[in-house]
């Protein structure tokens, strides 16, 4: 049995070159970057370099990059910090029903503080109606928050067009780009975004480090107080090793972007072709307008959790959706918003590839998956119910009484 990791949208393995870059900051480069002596200056230079590397990947300036702990923190600061800064001008926020919980739960929190939130729906392919978005704008609208790439389906939203709508109406625009970084070309100078959120562990850096892009001139309340780090926007001693690692991962992503995206798309399409060749399997999300590494499918008559468990037994790691919603008893809010039928709402599986994924990995999945699907369908009470229902219909049709 081999181990195949296809859950890169949940987290990625730390790149070996990233490990090499961060180790000195756990060994001899131990200074606090806020200190003015030699030990602090040595470390501050590494932080400045990492800030430039992150900025280069998204065409920002280093001064627009605020380091933090994770994507969820960035979304919280973008939303809560904007609301606190702008609430005297209005209380209306527009977002979508398929956002990450870091956005949705924060919006629900803001509703308890007086915010009025519009949650835009999506169509059956997970796409937004931009006319509906623009029609939702009122004179009280202070913020639009739309993700770049959906973490479950990989569907991509037209961030540049949304940015133009936001600029036209002079509304602040926040984008959760955690899943997009390294897989989609991002140019903050072109797309009209005011705030954008990233997370290091999605692109080969360790967990516990992220970044918030804050366009020059945008005022934002802090979530964490107690120091003047990060231009007064995020108090606390900097996670130097994590920041250096994030910067290095961004530099690698920039250097290898074209090759990595092309490879992942070829392998994703190979996996997709094989999986969709199985009976009663449907694609969730747009067939083209999605991340190059993501495949979300539903297997009729099978519980998705059971399929994941059986795949795990043969060394295949995948997921049923966002890792941040594991433990939730409810179905995927993303698939529910897309109108996926109740019968297959609990049977979805997300495969998400990474730069380290090989053709052998994909072929191993395609070898192991069919017998697992067959076995689970033989055991499935869902299939028995479907068969019984069909039989009842036939009996009614032929019964002369």
Here the tokens at position 390 are 């069909």
pLDDT of residue 398: 32
Q: Does 296 have pLDDT greater than 90?
A: yes
Q: Does 388 have pLDDT greater than 90?
A: no
pLDDT of residue 400: 36
Please state the length of the chain: 401
Q: Does 390 have pLDDT greater than 70?
A: no
Mean pLDDT, residues 73-82 taken together: 98
Q: Does 24 have pLDDT greater than 60?
A: yes
pLDDT of residue 85: 97
Angle at which helices 304-313 and 359-379 pack, to 10 degrees? 130
Who has greater pLDDT, 121 or 346? Answer: 121
pLDDT of residue 262: 98
Q: Does 330 have pLDDT greater than 60?
A: yes
Kindly provide the residue ranges of all beta strands, DSSP E only, lying in 116-271, ordered along the sequence.
116-120, 141-145, 172-176, 195-199, 210-214
Contact 311, 372 (CB under 8 A): yes
pLDDT of residue 391: 43
| pLDDT tens track for 190-247 | 999 999 999 999 999 999 999 999 999 999 999 999 989 999 999 999 999 999 999 9
Element holding 261 (H helix, E strand): helix 240-276
Domain ranges of the chain: 4-9+257-389, 16-253
Residues 369, 377: Cα–Cα separation, whole Å: 12
Average pLDDT across the chain, whole number: 93
* Residue 331 burial (CB count, 10 A): 18
pLDDT of residue 1: 82
pLDDT of residue 327: 52
Q: Does 324 have pLDDT greater than 60?
A: no
Mean pLDDT, residues 384-393 taken together: 46
pLDDT of residue 13: 98
Question: How remote is the C-alpha of 204 from its chain's centroid?
Answer: 14
| pLDDT tens track for 141-160 | 999 999 999 999 999 999 99
Choose which CATH entry (3.40.640.10, 3.40.50.920, 3.40.50.720, 2.30.30.40) describes domain 16-253: 3.40.640.10
pLDDT of residue 331: 85
Active site (annotated) includes residue 155 = no
Of 70, 324, 391, 396, which residue is the catalytic one? Answer: 324
Contact 243, 47 (CB under 8 A): yes
Q: Any idea which of 9-23, 96-110, 309-323 has the lowest mean pLDDT?
A: 309-323
Residue 58, classed as helix, strand or coil, is: helix
Residues 13, 62: Cα–Cα separation, whole Å: 26
Q: Under CATH, to which class is 4-9+257-389 assigned?
A: alpha beta
């Amino acid at each position: 049995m081999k181990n195949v990791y296809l859950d890169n949208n949940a987290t990625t393995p730390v790149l070996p070159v990233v490990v090499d870059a961060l180790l000195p900051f756990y060994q001899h480069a131990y200074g606090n970057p806020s200190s003015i002596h030699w030990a602090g200056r040595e470390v501050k230079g590494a932080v400045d370099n990492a800030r430039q590397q992150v900025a280069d990947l998204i065409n920002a300036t280093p001064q627009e990059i605020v380091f933090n702990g994770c994507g969820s923190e960035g979304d919280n600061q973008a939303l809560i910090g904007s609301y606190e800064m702008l609430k005297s001008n209005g209380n209306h926020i527009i977002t979508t029903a398929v956002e990450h919980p870091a956005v949705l739960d924060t919006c629900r929190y803001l509703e308890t503080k007086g915010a009025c939130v519009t949650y835009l729906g999506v169509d059956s392919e997970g796409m937004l109606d931009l006319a509906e978005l623009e029609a939702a704008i009122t004179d009280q609208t202070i913020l639009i928050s739309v993700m770049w790439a959906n973490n479950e389906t990989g569907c991509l939203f037209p961030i540049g067009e949304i940015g133009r709508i936001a600029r036209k109406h002079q509304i602040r625009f926040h984008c959760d780009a955690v899943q997009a970084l390294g897989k989609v070309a991002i140019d903050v100078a072109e797309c009209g975004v005011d705030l954008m959120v990233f997370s290091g562990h999605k692109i080969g850096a360790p967990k516990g480090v992220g970044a918030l892009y804050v366009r020059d001139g945008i005022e934002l309340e802090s979530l964490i107080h107690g120091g003047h780090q990060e231009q007064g926007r995020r108090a606390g001693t900097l996670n130097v090793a994590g920041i250096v690692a994030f910067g290095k991962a961004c530099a690698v992503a920039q250097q290898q972007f074209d090759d990595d995206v092309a490879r992942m798309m070829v392998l994703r399409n190979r996996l997709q072709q094989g999986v969709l060749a199985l009976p009663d399997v449907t694609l969730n999300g747009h067939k083209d307008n999605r991340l190059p590494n993501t495949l979300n499918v539903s297997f009729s008559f099978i519980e998705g959790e059971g399929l994941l468990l059986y795949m795990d037994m043969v060394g295949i790691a995948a997921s049923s959706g966002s890792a941040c919603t594991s433990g939730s008893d409810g179905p995927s809010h993303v698939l529910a918003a897309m109108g996926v039928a109740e019968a297959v709402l609990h049977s979805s599986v997300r495969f998400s590839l990474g730069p380290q994924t090989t053709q052998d990995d994909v072929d191993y999945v395609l070898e192991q998956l069919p017998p697992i699907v067959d076995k689970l369908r033989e055991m499935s009470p869902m299939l028995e119910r479907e068969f019984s229902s069909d039989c009842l219909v036939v009996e009614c049709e032929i019964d002369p009484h």
